[in-house]
Amino acid sequence: MTFSAIARCKRTGQFGVGIATYSPNVGMRCPIVVPGYGAATIQAVANPIMLAPAARMLENCYRAAKVVRELQDADSYPEYRQICVVDVNGGAYASTGKENAAWAGHEVGDGWAVAGNVLVGSAVVQAMAASMERTEDLPLAERLVRAVEAGRDAGGQPEGQTSAAVKVCDRHPFPIVDLRVDLHDEPEKELRRLWDWYAPMVPYYLERAAVPKVPKWWQWRQENVPGWIARHLQPQQGRKAQG
């Protein structure tokens, strides 16, 4: 009961996944992103055990189609899975097992794939694909969040959604974006709120990891995010100054 988008950014080499579903905690169970090597999501009847072998194959530079085939060959229930993979070269491949509940399907483009199951119809995946096509010039995390929003706006799942997540890796051995909404009445809206807040902080946390003597986050933010102090900091300045 999930819809997702995975991609490699041609400009930056970043890999990422954006995803939403009716079930809680989707960010833990379905997506995997391997810095510098690829991304995948294993959904429908998710099996987190499959994420580790998917990561190993991506690290060994398997092509996306081969990763999917190897996962299916090792799986006792491959027809219950929906798998999308983008490999180190940006090759994309997806598979929707015949036991996926309707509507289920996927689309694959240049460096990206979108897929969903238990959807109101094919328009959900089509909207996500169109979003990926027209946002190629945007930061990858923004593209993925927009794709998830497009899926929601096209109807999403009949029951609605409960959780959402976006994860992006660059050349670093850790994600530069890893935001999750594990339980929410409007998870895509909450994911947008989190991403809009966090987006300008990406360079701050990368700098902080390498140079510990940087300003505190709220100091950096008031200096680098126009208008933020007026909206957020002043009413809480005493508490923040102590933290």
Residue-wise pLDDT for 191-215, tens only, equals 999 999 999 999 999 999 888 888 9
The number of CA neighbours under 13 Å toward the Cβ of 6 is 30
CATH of domain 2-203: 3.60.20.10
Helix, strand or coil, per DSSP, at residue 150: helix
The whole model's pTM is what? 0.92
Widest CA span in the chain? 58
Q: What is the mean pLDDT of the chain?
A: 93
Provide the pLDDT confidence category of residue 223 given band limits of 50, 70 and 90: confident
Give residue limits of the domains in the chain: 2-203, 213-242
Give residue-wise pLDDT tens across range 88-129.
999 999 999 999 999 999 999 999 999 999 999 999 999 999
Provide the pLDDT confidence category of residue 231 given band limits of 50, 70 and 90: low
Query: Quick one: tokens of 57?
Result: 């194959």
